[in-house]
Amino acid sequence: MSVYDSLDSINEELHKCMKCGNCQAVCPIYKETRQEVGVARGKISLAEFILSGEAEMTEGMAERFSLCTTCMACNQNCPCGVRFDKIILAARAEAVRKKGLHPVKKIAFTALKMQRLFDFGMKTGSVFQGVALKHLPHKSDRLARMRFDIGIGTEKVFPMLAKRPLRSELPEVVKVKNPKMRVAFFTGCMINYFYTDIGKAVVEVLTENDIEVVIPRGQGCCGIPASVNGDTVSARALARRNLRAFERLGADALVVACSSGGTAWKHVFMELLENDPEFSTLAKKWSEKSYDISEFLIHKVPFKKEGLGRVDRKVTYHDPCHLNRGQGINKEPREILKSIPGVELIEMKEPGRCCGMAGSFSLVHPDLSVKISDRKIADISQTQTNTVATGCPACRLQLQSGVENAGIQEQVMHTVQILAESYRAGKKGSK
């Protein structure tokens, strides 16, 4: 039985925990609050008390289960191999089943509000931007701050909405002359609405490597924001919709440039739909050919090194939790960066430490999220670099907001953007 359907499904996982407390050493939340409920051991105990009937799933419980960035650092540091990522999903799904969406209504509500804001913004364009977001002058990025508080504070810096979403800007099939492969690109919401520059870089790099890119119009949200907050019903619907859209156009492989999208296609769709007669095999099939863009460019189709031009950047790389611990991808982005002429890679202290974004976590716990981010930004500023590379648009948003608020001169980019920049420089040079 999947973790999305019953708390019982994690019984064995809970029993594995020997309460050693090792998870305290790495938990970003515990580090800030120093309260046991923040750390995996605390939430595991709560889940145990609920299962044994000693405690009930109250609203208060649900609130405690929201105290987790799902960064998986505890998984990695656990001597007993406890998969806390599964436990937290099951606990949150149980909370939703027992209490309806109520315990996480704040999350759902805010997320909904955000979604509507986006759509509204998409239609009204710059008018909306002027009303809700205050533009910040910045040398390279279009950033804004909330003018009024919609429950997430006005501190957070947001990228301005793109004039046009990526998927309406680009054709559904981007052709190349002699395609050696046809690859489907799952954009995810953030790249589609905010960071179209990442999406364009993905397409640029793939076509540069003679790969035809399909961007199914029918794709939607990956559903991770829903599934991690226990809204299994919505998550399943989104999974089916995406599978249908990609199956219709077909491709040799699927790439993503965000860690949630990768997690969704590689693991979550399969788990959500394991008992779905129609979709389970489809989910498995696509899972086997899904790649993060950096993984794809290193292992599947090694990107061509000739034509790489010089890019003068001092870069430090932040590991997105769900790319690094979730998918085991940490060498690949560094390998890409190191192969770009002119790029100097300088590691920060604890590059794998969570940035505190964690999707809706930063909306529900803005203060905690900022505290976690502050540590990250301090580590970044120590590197004396001018660019932070990362592999996920959500991390990019958090880091961008962090460097902006700290007033340090650092450009935040996706690894693939720097690679695209290098190909561009190569072309200029050869002309």
Partner 1 sequence: MLAREVVEELIQVLGRENVLTEQEDLLTYAYDATAALKHQKPDVVVSPISTEQVAEVVKIAQRHQVPIYPRGSGTNLSGGTVPIQGGIVLSMLNLNKILEFDQDNLTATVQPGVIIQTLNDEAAKHGLIYPPDPGTVTTATMGGSVSECSGGLRGLKYGVTKHYIMGLTIVLANGKVIRWGGKTVKNVTGYDLVALFTGAEGTLGIITEMIVKLIPAPETRKSVLGVFDNLDKAGNAIAAIIRNKIIPATLEIMDNVTIQTVEHFVHAGLPLNAEAVLLCEVDGYKEVVERESVLVERILQEEGAVEVKVAKNDQERDLLWLARRSALPALAQKRPTTVLEDATVPRSKIPDMLKIVRKIADKYNLQIATFGHAGDGNLHPTILTDVRDEDEMKRVHLAVDEIFHGAIALGGTLSGEHGIGVAKMDFLSLEFGEAGVEALKAIKEALDPNYMLNPGKIVRRD
> Which of the residues 25 through 54 are near ligand SF4 (CB under 6 A)?
26-29, 39-41, 44
Of 14, 50, 57, 68, which one interacts with ligand SF4 (CB under 6 A)? 68
Q: Using H for helix, E for strand and C for coil, what is the string for the chain?
A: CCCCCCHHHHHHHHHHCCCCCHHHHCCHHHHHHCCHHHCHHHHHHHHHHHHCCCCCCCHHHHHHHCCCCCCCHHHHHCCCCCCHHHHHHHHHHHHHHHHCCHHHHHHHHHHHHHHHHHHHHHHHCHHHHHHHEEEECCCCCCEEEECCCCCCCCCCEEECCCCCCHHHHCCCEECCCCCCEEEEEECHHHHHHCCHHHHHHHHHHHHHCCEEEECCCCCCCCCHHHHHCCCHHHHHHHHHHHHHHHHHHCCCEEEECCHHHHHHHHHHHHHHCCCCCCCHHHHHHHHHCEEEHHHHHHHHCCCCCCCCCCCCEEEEEECCHHHHHHHCCCHHHHHHHHCCCCEEECCCCCCCCCCCCCCCHHHHCHHHHHHHHHHHHHHHHHCCCCEEEECCHHHHHHHHHHHHHHCCCCEEEEHHHHHHHHHHHHHHHHC
Q: Does 95 bind partner 1 (CB under 8 A)?
A: no
Q: Does 398 bind ligand SF4 (CB under 6 A)?
A: no
Q: Does 84 bind ligand SF4 (CB under 6 A)?
A: yes
Q: Does 160 bind partner 1 (CB under 8 A)?
A: no
Taking the complex as a whole, the smallest distance from the CB of residue 61 to ligand SF4 amounts, in Å, to 15
Q: Does 76 bind partner 1 (CB under 8 A)?
A: no
Of 81, 137, 277, 407, which one interacts with partner 1 (CB under 8 A)? 81
* Residue 36 contact among ligand SF4, partner 1, none, beta carbon within 5 to 8 Å by kind: partner 1
Taking the complex as a whole, the smallest distance from the CB of residue 80 to partner 1 amounts, in Å, to 5
CB neighbour class for 83 (10 Å; exposed up to 12, middle 13-18, buried from 19): middle
Q: Does 131 bind ligand SF4 (CB under 6 A)?
A: no
* Residue 100 contact among partner 1, ligand SF4, none, beta carbon within 5 to 8 Å by kind: none
* Residue 71 contact among partner 1, ligand SF4, none, beta carbon within 5 to 8 Å by kind: ligand SF4
Distance CA 330, CA 390 (A): 10
Distance CA 152, CA 393 (A): 19
Taking the complex as a whole, the smallest distance from the CB of residue 395 to partner 1 amounts, in Å, to 25
Note the maximum CA span of the chain.
Answer: 73
Tell me the per-residue interface mask from 23 to 42 with partner 1, x by CB under 8 A, - otherwise. Answer: -xx--------xxxx---xx
Of 3, 7, 61, 198, which one interacts with partner 1 (CB under 8 A)? 61
Q: Does 228 bind ligand SF4 (CB under 6 A)?
A: no
- Residue 54 or 306 having the CB closest to partner 1: 54
Q: Does 111 bind ligand SF4 (CB under 6 A)?
A: no
Q: Does 21 bind partner 1 (CB under 8 A)?
A: yes
Sole window of 62-70, 176-184, 302-310, 363-371 interacting with ligand SF4 (rule: CB under 6 A):
62-70
Taking the complex as a whole, the smallest distance from the CB of residue 198 to partner 1 amounts, in Å, to 36
Q: Does 382 bind partner 1 (CB under 8 A)?
A: no
Sole window of 78-86, 139-147, 306-314, 381-389 interacting with partner 1 (rule: CB under 8 A):
78-86
Q: Does 18 bind ligand SF4 (CB under 6 A)?
A: yes
Q: Note the residues at the interface with ligand SF4 (CB under 6 A).
A: 17-23, 26-29, 39-41, 44, 68-74, 78, 80, 82, 84
Q: Note the residues at the interface with partner 1 (CB under 8 A).
A: 12, 15-16, 18-22, 24-25, 34-37, 41-42, 45-46, 49, 54-55, 58, 60-61, 63-64, 79-81
